[in-house]
Amino acid sequence: MSRPTEPGADLPTELPFIVSFDTTKVDHATRKLIRSHVMRGRNAKRAKGKSSSTLGLAQNPANRLRRSQVELNDLQKLYTAPSPERIDARLYFIGFPDDVDPRLFRDMDQGQYRSAIDFNFTDSAKVSGVALQILFPLLAEVGFEHDKLPWLHPSARDPVALYIGAFATQSFIDRVLRQQPESNVNQVSMLHLQKGLELLRERLRGTDSEAKISDATIGAVLDLATAALFHGDADTAKQHIRGLGKMIELRGGLLALEMNPGFLMEILRCDLSIALVTGTDPVFCCGAGETTHRFPNQMMSSFDVIPNPEFLYVLSPDLAEVWLAVRKFCLLVSLAAQTRSQFHPSTIYRAMTSAMYRLLHMSFVMGSWDETVRLGLLVYTHHVFLQGQRVKLPWNPLSQAYRTHLQVCEVRPAAQRPPSQVALWLLMVGAISIFNVSEEDWLGEGLKRWTKKCHVGSWKDLQGVLKSCMWIPVLDDRIGQQTYNHHIVQRVVV
């Protein structure tokens, strides 16, 4: 016996019209049909959104810790060069209103990153996340919910911050991702810079004292300093960071920004980077006595045996303290990566500032063992806290000084040389962070000589030596193993 036909059962599978002339409820089958088509539409939208958010950060911390490093070559494919037929030339000459409407920023879906003017606010956060992975891989690997931090775009609706932020983002795309030469000038980006500077000058000339030193204004100047570093203009970056120092001083000092540790960390990272590139004192002269730059308690505890204790006895006590603290931090980061634990950004920020500002304020005799170790620690902490993926410092005073001290160390009498493990670590630190081993024959020969003295016969052996000093596998193993395979093993074979 056939079942009775219910209303709506014979409706076509397309999207039928459902007509109702009264206020009574429709039958169950029709309601079910309506719900099915509603959900079909919702699922289609979700699927479309999912396929287009290729730059979205993983929401699951465990998945985020398992992901591989961002490859610059992969990202370069996403940031394709502008196509004349797809960008209206008239757009270059449009003067946008000061209260910029977010809808002016075009969609970045499906990797169509043409220029900073194409960003909407949601996708701007995606780019910020990608930039974070490249420019601050430590925080991206073990930072606590870094993808939810407000400092990724803390003042997105402020016109000054918006224009200058667009310029800084385009500078990141052009100089870091595409690695374009300085001679390639992005006209759209320069117009954004021009408009942003015009609005910034108007704000600084105005009567609104709070706006002059607001987070938005400070963030805009920070973007200017960072963009100057991307462009290799250290002098301009120094001018911007000095202006930033004056603004923060008017706010009441660094303590006034402690409620946003991520924002404060980016300011001090910029300050430290500029100091290292220019060979000048940092603007935020934070000595060891500053309450905001004490070592975190985690860095001062001891739970392992210190190798080469005699090496620490001959160092300056202050320098030995920094060595032990940084070593402990590296051990904690390695443990966090292995156990998929996470650091709060404030802990990373305090570890960075407590170590690096101390090292910058120390002074030892040129050519001394203390100075060699200080430079080695400075280079390594720069690598951990400041250096982006595959981004090496341009030749600068720190590079020159470290090169000189390593070469002096090589010719010292045997009795005055450091332990073999420490000497090998110092050379490897230079190789993975600031030197091009292919262009430094003395470095390749030194690596070969000290690996032999340390009885290193494999990458695993070398890894053990490096860990006995300080080493973060999640950050260092990849480039370290490449250095071993290409510049140590091949030299031995030859």
Torsion sign (Cα): 112, 106, 214, 189: positive
Which two structure tokens, joined as six digits, stand for 200? 């910034």
Average pLDDT of the chain is 73
Q: Are 252 and 332 within one domain?
A: no
* 456/8: higher pLDDT: 456
Q: Which domain holds residue 167?
A: 71-84+93-285
| pLDDT (0 to 100) of residue 293 | 63
* Domain C-terminal end among 253, 285, 317: 285
* 379/22: higher pLDDT: 379
Give residue-wise pLDDT tens across range 424-453. Answer: 999 999 999 999 898 899 999 999 999 999
- C-alpha 414/C-alpha 419 separation (Å) is 10
| pLDDT (0 to 100) of residue 205 | 87
Q: What is the DSSP letter of 119?
A: -
- Number of structural domains found in the chain: 2
**Residue 167 in domain:** yes
Q: Are 253 and 310 within one domain?
A: no
Give the whole-number percent of the chain exceeding pLDDT 90: 32
| pLDDT (0 to 100) of residue 112 | 39
- C-alpha 125/C-alpha 142 separation (Å) is 19
State whether residue 414 is helix, strand or coil.
helix
**Residue 384 in domain:** yes
- C-alpha 491/C-alpha 494 separation (Å) is 5
Task: Say which residues have a Cβ less than 8 Å from residue 154's Cβ, sequence separation at least 6.
Answer: 215, 216, 219, 260, 263
Give the whole-number percent of the chain exceeding pLDDT 70: 64
| pLDDT (0 to 100) of residue 296 | 72
Q: Are 374 and 234 within one domain?
A: no
Give residue-wise pLDDT tens across range 207-246. Answer: 888 989 999 999 999 999 999 988 888 889 999 999 999 8
**Residue 105 in domain:** yes
Residue 438 corresponds to which amino acid? S
User: For residue 284, how far is the Cα from the chain centroid?
Assistant: 20
| pLDDT (0 to 100) of residue 145 | 58
Question: In terms of DSSP H, where are the helices of 362-456?
Answer: 369-385, 397-410, 420-433, 441-453
The answer to whether 172 touches 391, Cβ cutoff 8 Å, is no
* 372/48: higher pLDDT: 372
Residue 494 CB: number of other CB atoms within 10 A? 6
Q: Are 301 and 391 within one domain?
A: yes
Query: Which span out of 2-6, 27-31, 308-312 was modeled with the highest average pLDDT?
Result: 308-312
Residue 479 corresponds to which amino acid? I
Can you name the residues that pair with 143 across neighbouring β-strands? 343
Question: In terms of DSSP H, where are the helices of 279-387?
Answer: 297-300, 309-313, 317-339, 345-361, 369-385
Confidence category of residue 150, pLDDT binned at 50, 70, 90: very low
Q: Are 204 and 340 within one domain?
A: no
171: pLDDT strictly greater than 70: yes
| pLDDT (0 to 100) of residue 156 | 56
55: pLDDT strictly greater than 60: no
How far does the chain reach from its first CA to its final CA, in angstroms?
88
275: pLDDT strictly greater than 70: yes
Average pLDDT for residues 168-190, to the nearest whole number? 81
**Residue 46 in domain:** no
| pLDDT (0 to 100) of residue 373 | 95
Low-confidence winner among 11-15, 24-28, 315-319, 410-414 (lowest mean pLDDT): 11-15
Q: What is the pTM of this model?
A: 0.72
| pLDDT (0 to 100) of residue 137 | 83
Q: Are 339 and 396 within one domain?
A: yes
Confidence category of residue 455, pLDDT binned at 50, 70, 90: very high
* Domain C-terminal end among 224, 257, 285: 285
- C-alpha 470/C-alpha 371 separation (Å) is 18
**Residue 51 in domain:** no
321: pLDDT strictly greater than 80: yes
**Residue 61 in domain:** no
Q: Are 138 and 214 within one domain?
A: yes
The answer to whether 142 touches 341, Cβ cutoff 8 Å, is yes
* 100/36: higher pLDDT: 36
Q: Are 276 and 300 within one domain?
A: no
106: pLDDT strictly greater than 50: no
The answer to whether 328 touches 335, Cβ cutoff 8 Å, is no
Q: Are 246 and 147 within one domain?
A: yes
Query: Which span out of 19-28, 161-170, 361-370 was modeled with the highest average pLDDT?
Result: 361-370
250: pLDDT strictly greater than 80: yes
Give residue-wise pLDDT tens across range 360-399. Answer: 999 899 989 999 999 999 999 999 999 876 566 666 889 9
Q: Are 269 and 296 within one domain?
A: no
**Residue 355 in domain:** yes
286: pLDDT strictly greater than 50: yes
Q: Are 342 and 479 within one domain?
A: yes
**Residue 114 in domain:** yes
125: pLDDT strictly greater than 80: no
* Domain C-terminal end among 254, 285, 316: 285
Q: Are 343 and 235 within one domain?
A: no
* 132/406: higher pLDDT: 406
75: pLDDT strictly greater than 80: no
Average pLDDT for residues 445-474, to the nearest whole number? 94
